[in-house]
């Protein structure tokens, strides 16, 4: 057994079940293990590495800023935070942003903003605010967030759970409309459910949801931590429905694959509920993160990564459909956020991932039946062909 794997299982909490490969280097769509073997990365760290591994412009922005000024806390202004937030607001059409680090923190920020908005602006009575979420959601791992997870394992053993959340089926706008009441502060939704298994809602779902929310004075909060920043072939997945959410949550790829950077963005009306001392983060908005994130946003535009994601995503999805394997139940996704669901009684998704790994393709199962294909956005047609070729051989072998 590889000594790094042994050591990690001795010293690191067993809260993940990694594939048995030890990675030591990355460049673009490729990563290399400690034996020098090269892999195509179809995971991109759950979409955090949309720009590719160690993008030279991002590495340059990071090292330049690291040698200049890295962390000062928000007790002071810096020359890096404002340009980053201005760019993020201009690109997304939002008015203000609150910087955090991880996705879960930005989701917590959105929940706090929605509750406080309900009390201060909408006029909901103290402690009565409700937030509606979807069945199959994934928004992170804090106690409050797992409180409204529909995944039993995510909640089990972590009670008492946070109250104030209601769940409706994903993709069902009528169900949302039916549970809204005068205490409803917000509806929190992923435009495409990522960890839930790359679940794409029916066409026009988000458009109807936005109308229902605005008719009822309920905030629409879109968690685009995974779907945002070009992943689905548009800047935001909500752009597919021409919807501008009242609150937008970004993370993952926002840090360019180098830093944890997240944002909660919204209108001035919503963000103004936060007064000094109401909320904060020691590292949120630090100049090192801000410099990297701003460069990441510039790269998305200047290198045409969003269009590339749409074009390669279409090609990838149609190539997967053409495989016509009897093991495949469904291919779904948008842009380069793609899930292949296998028939549960025929093959385990984990087995497919292990065999792909042997053939130099890294991916990871989500739940027991879905394999995710979410490579860096600059993946080429030849690289997609290589994945399809290896996958078809794996499936041929497994089909017997
Ligand atoms: C990954 C993810 C999160 C949590 O982000 P962390 O950085 O892991 O805290 C929240 N929402 C969605 C949709 C995600 O995919």
Following DSSP, what letter does each residue of 225-281 receive, concatenated? TTTTTTTTSSSSGGGGGT---SEEEE-GGGGTTTS--EEEEE-HHHHTT--TTSS--
What tokens appear for 126 in the block? Answer: 């103290």
Boundary-marking domain end, from 249, 275, 302: 302
Residue 348 has what pLDDT? 95
CA distance 248 to 110: 8
Cβ(140) – ligand 1 distance below 6 Å: yes
Boundary-marking domain end, from 273, 302, 331: 302
Of all helices (H) and strands (E), which one includes residue 207? helix 205-215
Residue 400 has what pLDDT? 76
Residue 306 has what pLDDT? 98
Q: In terms of residue numbers, what domain contains 128?
A: 56-302
Q: Residue of the nearest CA to atom 15 in ligand 1?
A: 226
CA distance 378 to 307: 10
Is-cis flag, bond preceding 160, omega within 30?
A: yes
Catalytic residue (choose from 33, 223, 241, 246): 223
373 is a catalytic site residue: no
Q: Ligand 1 centroid to 324 CA: how many Å?
A: 32
Q: Are residues 290 and 199 in the same domain?
A: yes
187 is a catalytic site residue: no
Q: Residue of the nearest CA to atom 10 in ligand 1?
A: 139
Q: Are residues 294 and 340 in the same domain?
A: no
- Could you read off the pLDDT tens digit of each residue along the chain, which spans 400 residues? 689 999 999 999 999 999 999 999 999 999 999 999 999 999 999 999 999 999 999 999 999 999 999 999 999 999 999 999 999 999 999 999 999 999 999 999 999 999 999 999 999 999 999 999 999 999 999 999 999 999 999 999 999 999 999 999 999 999 999 999 999 999 999 999 999 999 999 999 999 999 999 999 999 999 999 999 999 999 999 999 999 999 999 999 999 999 999 999 999 999 999 999 999 999 999 999 999 999 999 999 999 999 999 999 999 999 999 998 999 999 999 999 999 999 999 999 999 999 999 999 999 998 889 999 999 999 999 999 999 999 999 999 999 7
Q: Are residues 360 and 250 in the same domain?
A: no
Cβ(192) – ligand 1 distance below 6 Å: no
Find the length of the chain: 400
Catalytic residue (choose from 41, 80, 138, 283): 138
Whether residue 376 contacts residue 29, with contact meaning beta carbons closer than 8 Å, is answered with yes
Q: Are residues 115 and 29 in the same domain?
A: no
- Specify the DSSP class assigned to residue 297: H
CATH code of 385's domain: 3.90.1150.10
Q: Ligand 1 centroid to 257 CA: how many Å?
A: 14
Q: Are residues 154 and 246 in the same domain?
A: yes
Which residue among 109, 110, 134, 138 is best mutated to probe the pocket of ligand 1, counting the most ligand atoms within 8 A of its Cβ? 138
Q: Are residues 180 and 229 in the same domain?
A: yes
- Specify the DSSP class assigned to residue 136: T
Contacts for 144-152 with beta carbons within 8 Å, 24 or more apart?
A: 144/108, 144/111, 145/104, 145/107, 145/108, 145/111
Using the atom order of ligand 1, give the atom closest to the CA of residue 137. Answer: 13
CA-only gyration radius of the chain, Å: 21
Q: Are residues 62 and 81 in the same domain?
A: yes
165 is a catalytic site residue: no
Q: How far apart are the first and last CA of the chain?
A: 30
Under DSSP, is residue 117 helix (H, G, I), strand (E, B) or coil? helix
Boundary-marking domain end, from 254, 284, 302: 302
Q: Are residues 34 and 158 in the same domain?
A: no
Cβ(58) – ligand 1 distance below 6 Å: no
CA dihedral defined by 16, 48, 113, 83, rounded to 10 degrees? 150
Residue 87 CB contacts under 8 Å (≥ 6 apart), including other chains: 294, 297, 298
CATH code of 89's domain: 3.40.640.10
Q: Residue of the nearest CA to atom 5 in ligand 1?
A: 103
Using the atom order of ligand 1, give the atom closest to the CA of residue 107. Answer: 10
Partners of 222 in beta bridges: 189, 248
Q: Are residues 38 and 133 in the same domain?
A: no
Cβ(133) – ligand 1 distance below 6 Å: no
Cβ(325) – ligand 1 distance below 6 Å: no
Cβ(190) – ligand 1 distance below 6 Å: yes
Using the atom order of ligand 1, give the atom closest to the CA of residue 249. Answer: 11
Catalytic residue (choose from 87, 116, 252, 364): 252
Q: Ligand 1 centroid to 393 CA: how many Å?
A: 33
CA distance 243 to 92: 11
Q: Ligand 1 centroid to 395 CA: how many Å?
A: 30
Which residue among 101, 134, 195 is best mutated to probe the pocket of ligand 1, counting the most ligand atoms within 8 A of its Cβ? 195
Residue 38, Cβ neighbours under 10 Å: how many? 11
| Confidence (pTM) | 0.98
Q: Are residues 216 and 230 in the same domain?
A: yes
Residue 167 has what pLDDT? 98
Cβ(194) – ligand 1 distance below 6 Å: yes
Residue 1 has what pLDDT? 67
Whether residue 206 contacts residue 238, with contact meaning beta carbons closer than 8 Å, is answered with yes
Q: Are residues 202 and 317 in the same domain?
A: no
The total domain count for the chain is: 2
Which residue among 45, 251, 339 is best mutated to probe the pocket of ligand 1, counting the most ligand atoms within 8 A of its Cβ? 251
Q: Ligand 1 centroid to 263 CA: how many Å?
A: 12
Cβ(139) – ligand 1 distance below 6 Å: yes
Residue 303 has what pLDDT? 98
Q: Are residues 257 and 310 in the same domain?
A: no
């Amino acid at each position: 057994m590889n000594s790094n794997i042994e050591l990690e299982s001795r010293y690191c909490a067993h809260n993940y079940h990694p594939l048995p490969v030890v990675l030591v280097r990355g460049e673009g769509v490729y990563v290399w293990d400690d034996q020098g073997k090269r892999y195509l990365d179809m995971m991109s760290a759950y979409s955090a590495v949309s720009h590719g591994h160690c993008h030279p412009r991002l590495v340059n922005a990071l090292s330049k800023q690291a040698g200049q000024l890295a962390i000062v806390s928000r007790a002071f202004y810096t020359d890096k935070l404002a340009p980053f937030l201005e760019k993020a607001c201009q690109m997304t059409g939002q008015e203000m942003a609150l910087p955090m680090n991880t996705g879960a923190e930005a989701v917590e920020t959105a929940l706090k903003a929605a509750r406080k908005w309900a009390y201060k602006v909408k006029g909901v009575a103290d402690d009565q605010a409700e937030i509606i979420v979807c069945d199959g959601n994934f928004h992170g791992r804090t106690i409050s967030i797992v409180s409204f997870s529909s995944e039993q394992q995510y909640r089990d053993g972590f009670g008492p759970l946070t109250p104030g959340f209601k769940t409706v089926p994903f993709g069902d706008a009528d169900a949302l409309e039916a549970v809204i009441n005068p205490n409803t502060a917000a509806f929190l939704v992923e435009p495409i459910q990522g960890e839930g298994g790359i679940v794409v809602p029916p066409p026009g779902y988000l458009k109807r949801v936005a109308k229902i929310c605005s008719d009822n004075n309920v905030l629409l909060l879109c968690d685009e931590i995974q779907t945002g920043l070009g992943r689905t072939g548009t800047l935001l997945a909500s752009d597919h429905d021409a919807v501008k959410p009242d609150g937008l949550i970004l993370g993952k790829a926002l840090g360019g694959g180098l830093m944890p950077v997240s944002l909660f963005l919204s209108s001035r009306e919503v963000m103004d509920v936060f007064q000094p001392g109401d909320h904060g983060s020691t590292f949120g908005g630090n100049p090192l993160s801000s410099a990297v994130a701003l460069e990441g946003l510039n790269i998305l535009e200047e290198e045409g990564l969003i269009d590339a994601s749409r074009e390669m995503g279409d090609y990838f999805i149609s190539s997967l459909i053409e495989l016509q394997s009897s093991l495949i139940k469904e291919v779904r996704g948008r842009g380069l956020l793609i899930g292949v669901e296998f028939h549960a009684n025929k093959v385990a998704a984990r087995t497919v991932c292990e065999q792909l790994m042997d053939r130099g393709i890294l991916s990871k199962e989500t739940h027991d039946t879905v394999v995710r294909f979410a490579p860096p956005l600059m993946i080429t047609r030849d690289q997609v062909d290589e994945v399809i070729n290896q996958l078809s051989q794996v499936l041929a072998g497994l089909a017997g």
